[in-house]
């Protein structure tokens, strides 16, 4: 090898060499975005997905994976930039895997998130239905109320890295000294917590990596997962352990919960069931519009806080029960045909067992809230086959600058 030649990088052991070599440079036009936030284009009808490339751009990209039906590549150069491309404020944007869209004008983010719901509905459910424009977050930065930086135990005398997964990897971390998605107060806490964690490791080395917590709430910032904190949503106060799940963008919660309440009420139901109630967010914000509201939750710990939140807010017509997954509606003492059901399952969606029980209960309407429209669309197939039809679809952008969104689908009994 001559001194002017660069050694070719060795491909990963399981790399498929077709249709492109490892780290082959390709040039292509980006036509659309995937729901993972990648720009998608084609070379001779072969799909290539490029991280941080935007629709309408011509780019050069470096291939790092060939799958059975597509290739993935890193962005090398933007040859023709999109008119919607802007400068990202974060110094580690494109390295940190937390954000996908800081370089994308916000109105364009909303447009594409709306479009992706339409595309998922068609590709997965084979249904064409209008999708209302995604509702914007009041805050575009500094909106997150919870941050969980990670760290691994450093090896070979290296410095500890505290941050988030590197874009496109599953085990490598990027150092994040500050994050524009959180407030100044949370960033100050991040600075302190990073320093304390490094000092603890130096005095007594950790045996394994871990996850830190920074949570902002009505009364300040905490780093203790077990601390009981308060969050304000409209005129209601919710208390819960800082480490537990609660929607992560307080600025949009009044509009978000208000929409769910309005749509549950519009069906003319007298009763409300919140089937994944957690600490009572949807159940308690909607209870005033119903004769009776019942929250069901498999976590006994969460139910305890939901009960406390009902009492603290003076909501007497709401009750909460610990539900068994095999008989989730067994403890409901009012008829399904006079009820509206709100469901907000985890990212994996609902089980078929739960959906079958929901269909058997037979509510007049279902308000399906999801942080993962892909699993939501999968579940919709079961609900549509079970006698429901789509009435309205409304995305909410709880996570500006990222590919993530919440989508609310309103279903009525056919």
Please indicate, yes or no, if residue 240 is contained in any of the structural domains.
yes
What element of type H or E holds 49? Answer: strand 46-51
pLDDT per residue rounded down to tens, the chain (414 residues) = 444 445 678 888 889 999 999 999 999 999 999 989 999 999 999 999 999 999 999 999 999 999 999 999 999 999 999 999 999 999 999 999 999 999 999 999 999 999 999 999 999 999 999 999 999 999 999 999 999 999 999 887 788 999 999 998 878 899 999 999 999 999 999 999 999 999 999 999 999 999 999 999 999 999 999 999 999 999 999 999 999 999 999 999 999 999 999 999 998 999 999 999 999 999 999 999 999 999 999 889 999 999 999 999 999 999 999 987 678 898 899 999 999 999 999 999 999 999 999 999 999 999 999 999 999 999 999 999 999 999 999 999 999 999 999 999 999 998
**d(C-alpha 43, C-alpha 91), whole Å:** 32
The answer on 378 and 273 residing in a single domain is yes
Domain's final residue, options 211, 229, 247:
229
Which residue segment(s) compose the domain that 41 sits in? 1-85
Domain harbouring 75, CATH code? 2.40.50.140
What pLDDT shows up at residue 389?
97
What pLDDT shows up at residue 3?
44
Ramachandran angles phi, psi of 256, nearest 5° = -65, -55
Please indicate, yes or no, if residue 90 is contained in any of the structural domains.
no
Please indicate, yes or no, if residue 93 is contained in any of the structural domains.
no
Residue of 263, 253, 232, 241 whose CA lies nearest to 343: 263
List, by residue number, the catalytic residues: 371
**What interhelical angle do 373-385 and 106-120 show, nearest 10?**
30
DSSP 8-state assignment for residue 170: S
Residues 143, 106 contacting (CB under 8 angstroms): no
Binding residues for S-adenosyl-L-methionine, by number, are 247, 276, 297, 344
Domain's final residue, options 200, 229, 258:
229
What is the Cβ-side half-sphere exposure of residue 27, based on CA atoms within 13 angstroms?
A: 4
**d(C-alpha 49, C-alpha 61), whole Å:** 9
**What interhelical angle do 352-361 and 373-385 show, nearest 10?**
50
Question: How much is the pTM?
Answer: 0.93
> DSSP per residue over 65-91, as a string?
EE-SSEEEEEEEEEEE--TTB---S-T
R_g (Cα) of the chain, nearest Å:
24
DSSP 8-state assignment for residue 372: -
The answer on 394 and 293 residing in a single domain is yes
Domain's final residue, options 167, 201, 229:
229
Please indicate, yes or no, if residue 351 is contained in any of the structural domains.
yes
Please indicate, yes or no, if residue 220 is contained in any of the structural domains.
yes
Count of domains for the chain: 3
**d(C-alpha 300, C-alpha 147), whole Å:** 25
């Amino acid at each position: 090898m001559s001194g002017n030649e660069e050694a070719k990088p060795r491909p990963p052991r399981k790399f498929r060499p077709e249709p492109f070599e490892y780290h082959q440079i390709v040039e292509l036009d980006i036509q659309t975005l995937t729901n993972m936030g990648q720009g998608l284009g084609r070379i001779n009808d072969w799909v290539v997905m490029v991280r941080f490339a935007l629709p309408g751009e011509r780019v050069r990209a470096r291939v790092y994976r060939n799958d059975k039906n597509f290739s993935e590549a890193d962005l090398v150069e933007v040859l023709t930039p999109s008119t919607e491309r802007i400068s990202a404020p974060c110094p580690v944007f494109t390295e940190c895997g937390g954000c996908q869209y800081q370089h994308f004008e916000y109105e364009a983010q909303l447009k594409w998130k709306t479009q992706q719901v339409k595309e998922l509905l068609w590709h997965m459910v084979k249904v064409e239905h209008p999708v209302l424009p995604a509702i914007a977050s009041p805050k575009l930065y500094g909106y997150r109320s919870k941050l969980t930086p990670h760290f691994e135990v450093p090896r070979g005398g290296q410095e500890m890295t505290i941050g988030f997964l590197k874009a496109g990897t599953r085990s490598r971390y990027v150092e994040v000294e500050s994050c524009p998605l959180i407030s100044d107060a949370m960033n100050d806490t991040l600075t302190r917590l990073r320093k304390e964690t490094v000092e603890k490791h130096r005095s007594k080395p950790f045996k394994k990596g871990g996850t830190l917590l920074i949570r902002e709430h009505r009364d300040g910032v905490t780093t203790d997962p077990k601390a009981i904190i308060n969050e304000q949503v409209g005129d209601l106060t919710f208390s819960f352990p800082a480490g537990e799940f609660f929607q992560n963008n307080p600025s949009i919660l009044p509009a978000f919960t208000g929409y769910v309440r309005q749509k549950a009420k519009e069906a003319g139901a007298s009763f409300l069931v919140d089937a994944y109630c957690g600490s009572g967010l949807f159940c308690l914000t909607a209870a005033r519009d119903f004769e009776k509201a019942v929250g069901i939750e498999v976590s006994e710990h969460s139910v305890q806080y939901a009960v406390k939140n009902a009492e603290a807010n003076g909501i007497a017509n709401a009750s909460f029960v610990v539900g068994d997954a095999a008989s989730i509606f067994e403890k409901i003492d009012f008829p399904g045909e006079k009820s509206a059901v709100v469901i907000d399952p985890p990212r994996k969606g609902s089980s078929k067992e739960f959906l079958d029980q929901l269909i058997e209960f037979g509510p007049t309407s279902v308000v399906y809230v999801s942080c993962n429209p892909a699993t939501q669309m999968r579940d919709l197939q079961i609900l549509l086959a079970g006698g429901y039809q789509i009435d309205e679809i409304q995305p909410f952008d709880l996570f500006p600058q990222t590919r993530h969104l919440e989508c609310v689908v309103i279903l009525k009994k056919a």
